[in-house]
Amino acid sequence: MSEPGLSPKTTFHRRISLSVTSNDKKAFFRHLYSLEATVEKETGSGDSDNPITEFLRNYHRRGHRQQTSENPNSPQSISRPPIGYSHSLIGSRKLDESRGSNLSRRKTRLPPSPPSPMTPKRSIPAAASSSPSKAQRHITTPKANVKASASKPRKGKKEPKVVLAPESQQLFKGMTFYFVPNTLTSGARRMRVNKAIEYGAVCSNDWANDEITHIIADRHLQYKNVLNILKVAEIPDNIKVVNEHYPGDCLHYRRILDTTQPIYEVPGKPVSVKELSPMEKGGFGENQEDRESLHSLQIKPVKEKAQEIGETQRSVVSEVLFKSTNDGPKNAPSPPVTATKSAKRPHESGEKPKDYDMNDVLNEIIEEAKKVADLPLDDDEDTLVSAPAEVSDSERYNSDSASKRRKFTRKTDRSADFQAAFQCMYKHDGEGEHQNPNERTIQVLSEMQKYYEMIDDHWRSLSYRKAITILKKQTTKIVFAEEAVRLPCIGERLAQKIEEIVFTNHLKRLDYAKLEPGDALLKLFLGVYGAGTTQAQRWISAGHKTLEDLLKKAKLTENQRIGVEHYDDFNTRIPRAEVQRHGDVVIKTALEIDSKLQLDIMGSFRRGAKDCGDIDIIITKRGATNVELKGILDELLKRLFAIDFLQWTLATSHRDDSGSKWHGASRIEPGARWRRLDFLLVPWKERGAALIYFTGNDIFNRSLRLLASKKGYRLNQRGLYKDVMRGANRVKVTEGTLVEGESEEKIFEILGVPYRPPEHRIC
DNA sequence: TTCCAGTAAGA
DNA sequence: TCTTAC
DNA sequence: GGAA
Ligand SMILES: O=c1ccn([C@H]2C[C@H](O)[C@@H](COP(=O)(O)OP(=O)(O)OP(=O)(O)O)O2)c(=O)[nH]1
Ligand SMILES: [Mg+2]
């Protein structure tokens, strides 16, 4: 889409870098500091009484003793549920199963029932303006994209080789482009034309064609040039004039962008009253930075505070280690973290990035860090040296202890370097999220990350997310691009952005993105459980503007309907205490069915989060197989629905073989919010791999899986497999043979990753 | 330039 | 198969 | 967007 190398890369930040001395920068930046502030946090919970509560209360009263577990698994410091823990897979103790109580069971029968009143109370952003609607007016018959209007072979929009994109991706359907100049002399233009056609546009060769909706002008053309070429005095209001970047950007972001954004403006365009954009520039795009520099844009030093940004974000990143402090009962694990300051990532361990000479120091630290990463394991080879890796204590992996562990290394330097790049090799405890000197930077980058996720640019989003977790671990403020690039996962471009944020307290890219019409609407629709970017954009295209519209006019899948009706419920994070309560209900009920079951609350809860997006519960039983568990699930669901705890089933496994799971909604008491609840039923043999999977977080899992694959393994929720396939002339067994699935720790060990307790898997 | 985890349910 | 979710 |  975007064409590379359009202009010299003279970005704003560069200019600053070049024109300001470091000292100036520092002074400047210091001044900035004083202007900063803001943070937001929230949380809150409530408790009250209800049948379920009572039910549990009785249960609790019944008393539960603890004792040691026979469980071979990790003895983590996990917060302990208030109720007995005999059934815990991960807890390090268990108690006898005497709790066969059947308490006050609500007779309220309530099978998967219809929804309750919806609670959508969002304000809907103003309708997207301009282009989309306009384009839709011109309902040129699709189908015939290729054979644009008349003749003129020249501008061959009729490329026979253009393969149309799938219907669903026909972004430009209904739009007719007229390129200026209308020739294919430029290879670049030809490509743009083909692309446009591929995505549903009609490219006309005939200026007389009255279906033309957009004029795409070459970047070097002035507005008056366009007029001259077209031989007209002015261009009708219903035809948008944009520069050549427009189509590509639309495709990149898979949305019809606002044509009035300055970056798509053809120079010299008369200012139209209605088109005054609230900003001197707008838009975003792959080449945004490059283009930005073309259009002026003075550097406005600091001043304005962090205004509006605040409100939106939080959620995704709001995982905070459960500090001993507050919190209700006694469930605070008070993880062994505390001492962390020194145990963090290599980079920050040293002194502060005071000045440049620190580069050397940093390098040393980084090198040191890599050494830490070595493992008692040779590269690929299936062999794994079972090194004395009862390394559960993350503390062992600070730079300090590094040298000692060196002895295991065996020509593994290469291996160390290799592994050092994986996030799962480090302790990510979510600490330092408060009071982090890079708070503002993180905040802005988080918005960028969400923004890219929103527009489906997953990889970019992933990169931002990785960079953010790295920043969170820094103890000193990263100010200059030069220091930022030294951090893992932060390259030149992100480094520049970080510097820009520090110096301006803003990121232009983001500001523009927020202006994008439809941006807010897209965000709203994406919040619907069961809807992704594809569906959200369809709704937008269909003209829907509110959640009510969706319910009344749009066609929704069953799940999406629930997603809309419980929009707020599902988008509200759940206080840890409530997660615990949901878990108690499930555990208690399950144990009544079979006292040998083992259940644990997983996901962010196990990682110690103070609030969770949903409730994840793993269910297993010594020696159990899928079939056996499946029957148990059915019974469990039946009972939980009967109690009026479960409210709805969103998805459930039907196949008998592989692990079954259930996704749905639960409610702790009448009138309370519906919460997303997930069950994962795991055969005893797969519990280790399942624990890893369900504990997450997702980034950690991906990192670990990537590492595994690079070592010739395959890791999934069932186990760690070693590929048996072998190129040469042998047929590959693609599958791979199971190496380990029962123990979390063994899997870590085999992969050569120091064991990370759940609280340290917050990548 | 290419890859970026691996799997399952629902429509 | 595509989309969404874990 | 980063890394190999
Ligand atoms: O793309 C994903 C999503 C999730 N998971 C795993 C890790 C995660 O921890 C677990 C549960 O998923 P969930 O979506 O509930 O995430 P979470 O980590 O529990 O966070 P949240 O607080 O949002 O529920 O499933 C993955 O492996 N890949
Ligand atoms: Mg969860």
SS (H, E, C) A112-124: CCCCCCCCCCCCC
Q: What distance in Å separates the CA atoms of residue A366 and residue A681, rounded to the nearest whole number? A: 42
Q: What is the mean pLDDT of residues A567-596?
A: 98
Length A445 CA → B3 C1' (Å): 23
Question: Is there an atom of ligand 1 within 6 Å of A616 CB?
Answer: yes
Residue bearing tokens 């361990």: A349
Q: Is A437 in the pocket of ligand 1 (CB under 6 A)?
A: no
pLDDT reported for residue A645: 98
Q: Which ligand is nearest to the CA of A615?
A: 2
* pLDDT bracket for residue A82 (50, 70, 90): very low
- Least confident window among A145-149, A596-600, A627-631: A145-149
**Residue positions counted in chain A:** 763
Percentage of chain A modeled with pLDDT above 70: 50
Using one digit for the tens of pLDDT, what is the confidence trace for A719-747?
A: 999 975 634 433 345 678 899 999 999 99
Q: Inform me whether the pLDDT recorded for A92 exceeds 80.
A: no
In this complex, the nucleotide whose C1' atom is nearest to the CA atom of residue A538 is C3
What is d(CA A377, CA A746) in angstroms, rounded to the nearest whole number?
13
Percent of chain A with pLDDT over 90: 38
Contacts of A348 (CB under 8 A, 6+ apart): A473, A474, A475, A476
Position A93 confidence tier, pLDDT thresholds 50, 70, 90: very low
Please name which of A138, A139, A191, A194 lies closest in space to residue A165, comparing C-alpha atoms. Answer: A194
Name which of A257-266, A381-390, A490-499, A727-736 the model is least confident about: A381-390
- pLDDT at A374 exceeding the cut of 70: no
pLDDT in the model for residue A655: 82
Closest nucleotide (CA of A460 to C1')?
A: D1
Q: Which residue is nearest to nucleotide D4 (CA to C1')?
A: A418
Beta-carbon neighbour count of residue A712 at 10 Å? Answer: 15
pLDDT at A253: 57
Q: Of A591, A583, A586, A539, which Cα lies nearest the Cα of A560?
A: A539
Summarize pLDDT for A278-308 with one digit per residue, the tens. 332 222 222 323 322 222 222 222 222 222 2
Given ligand 1 and candidates A315, A698, A762, which is best to mutate, with the most ligand atoms within 8 Å of its CB?
Answer: A698
Nearest CA residue ID for atom 27, ligand 1 = A698
Enumerate residues with CB within 5 Å of ligand 2 (an ion).
A 603-604, 614, 616
Indicate whether A460 pLDDT > 90: yes
A693 lines ligand 1 (CB under 6 A): yes
Strand C interface, protein residues by Cβ within 7 Å: A 166, 168-169, 528-536, 563, 603, 614, 616, 663, 676, 678, 698
Residues with CB under 7 A from strand B: A 459, 462, 557-559, 651-655, 658-661, 698, 701-702, 705-706, 708-709, 714-717
DSSP A177: E
pLDDT over threshold 90, residue A487: yes
Look at A228 and A537; give whichever has higher pLDDT. Answer: A537
pLDDT digits (tens, 9 = 90+) for A325-363: 222 222 323 222 222 222 222 222 222 222 222 222 223
CA distance linking residue A602 with residue A684, whole number of Å: 16
Nucleotides, chain C, CB distance < 7 Å: 2-6
Judge whether A637 and A110 are in contact, CB under 8 Å.
no
pLDDT band, residue A248 (cuts 50/70/90):
low
Q: What is the predicted pLDDT for the residue at A265?
A: 72
Residue A560 has pLDDT above 90, yes or no: yes
A139 has pLDDT over 80: no
Residue A596 reports pLDDT greater than 70 = yes
**Mean per-residue pLDDT, A243-265:** 67
Query: How many CB atoms sit inside 10 A of residue A537's CB?
Result: 23
Q: Which atom of ligand 1 is nearest to the CA of A602?
A: 19
Is the predicted pLDDT of residue A221 greater than 70, yes or no? no
SS3 assignment, position A748: helix
By the 8 A CB rule, do A419 and A375 touch?
A: yes
Confidence category of residue A426, pLDDT binned at 50, 70, 90: confident
Ligand nearest to the backbone CA of A576 = 1
A661-667 and A646-652: which strand pairing? antiparallel
Question: Going by CA atoms, what residue is nearest to atom 26 of ligand 1?
Answer: A698
Q: Which two tokens stand for residue A272?
A: 């139209």
Q: Which nucleotide is nearest to A421 (CA to C1')?
A: D3
Which residue is nearest to the C1' sugar atom of B3, using CA? A459
The pLDDT of residue A736: 85
Encode pLDDT of A491-526 as tens digits. Answer: 999 999 999 999 999 999 899 888 887 889 999 999
- Give the CA-to-C1' distance from A559 to B8 in angstroms: 16
Does pLDDT of A529 surpass 70?
A: yes
The radius of gyration of chain A's CA atoms, rounded to the nearest angstrom, is: 29
Residue nearest to ligand 1 atom 12, measured at CA: A603
| pLDDT for the residue A89 | 83
CA diameter of chain A: 91
What's the rounded Cα separation, in Å, for the pair A173 and A7?
Answer: 31
Segment among A260-269, A623-632, A666-675 with least mean pLDDT = A260-269
pLDDT at A185 over 80: no
By CB neighbour count within 10 A (0-12 exposed, 13-18 middle, 19+ buried), where does A34 fall?
exposed
pLDDT recorded at residue A161:
44
Domains of chain A are 167-264 (3.40.50.10190), 433-515 (1.10.150.110), 573-682 (3.30.460.10), 692-760 (3.30.210.10)
The answer to whether the CB of A613 is under 6 A from ligand 1 is yes
Query: Does residue A624 sit in helix, strand or coil?
Result: coil
pLDDT score at A664: 98
C-alpha distance from residue A754 to each of A42, A356, A365, A695 (Å) = 34, 33, 19, 16
Residue scoring higher pLDDT (A623 or A36): A623
Q: How far, CA to CA in Å, does A351 sit from each of A220, A348, A356, A358, A474?
A: 50, 7, 12, 8, 11
Q: Which ligand number lies closest to the CA of residue A613?
A: 1
Query: For residue range A691-726, what is the model confidence (pLDDT) as tens digits?
Result: 999 999 999 999 999 999 989 899 999 999 997 563
Please report, rounded to whole angstroms, the spatial distance between the CA atom of protein residue A422 and the C1' atom of nucleotide B3.
Answer: 15
The larger pLDDT score, comparing residue A23 to residue A87, is at A87
Instruction: Find, among A101, A98, A102, the residue nearest to A87 by Cα.
Output: A98
Res. A466: pLDDT tops 80: yes
Residue bearing the bigger pLDDT, A413 or A52 = A52
Binned at pLDDT 50, 70 and 90, residue A189 comes out as low
Ligand 1 atom at minimum distance from A573 CA: 22
Provide, in whole angstroms, the distance separating residue A664's CA from nucleotide C6's C1': 13
pLDDT score of A105: 27
* Pairing outcome for strands A661-667 and A674-682: antiparallel
The predicted pLDDT at position A415 comes to: 52
| Amino acid A544 CA to nucleotide B8 C1' distance, rounded Å | 30
Tell me the CA–C1' distance in angstroms for A175 and B11. Answer: 29
Could you tell me the distance, in angstroms and rounded to a whole number, from the CA of residue A698 to the centre of ligand 1? 5
**pLDDT greater than 50 at residue A661:** yes
Considering only CA atoms, name the residue closest to the C1' of nucleotide B11. A557
CA distances from A575 to A37, A45, A321 (A): 26, 6, 13
CA of A497 to C1' of B10 (A): 40
Atom of ligand 1 nearest to the CA of A605: 19
Nucleotide nearest to A661 (CA to C1'): B8
What distance in Å separates the CA atoms of residue A638 and residue A652, rounded to the nearest whole number? Answer: 14
Give CA–CA dist A556/A564, Å, rounded.
9
Q: What is the mean pLDDT of residues A176-196?
A: 65
| Closest of A74, A101, A54, A112 to residue A600, by C-alpha | A74
Residue with CA closest to ligand 1 atom 24: A613
Show which residues of A are catalytic. Answer: 497
pLDDT of A191 strictly over 70: no
- pLDDT band, very low/low/confident/very high, at A252 (cuts 50, 70, 90): low
Please tell me the predicted confidence (pLDDT) of residue A390: 23
Mean pLDDT of chain A: 64
Q: Nearest protein residue to B4's C1' (by CA)?
A: A459
Q: Which is more confident, A597 or A312?
A: A597
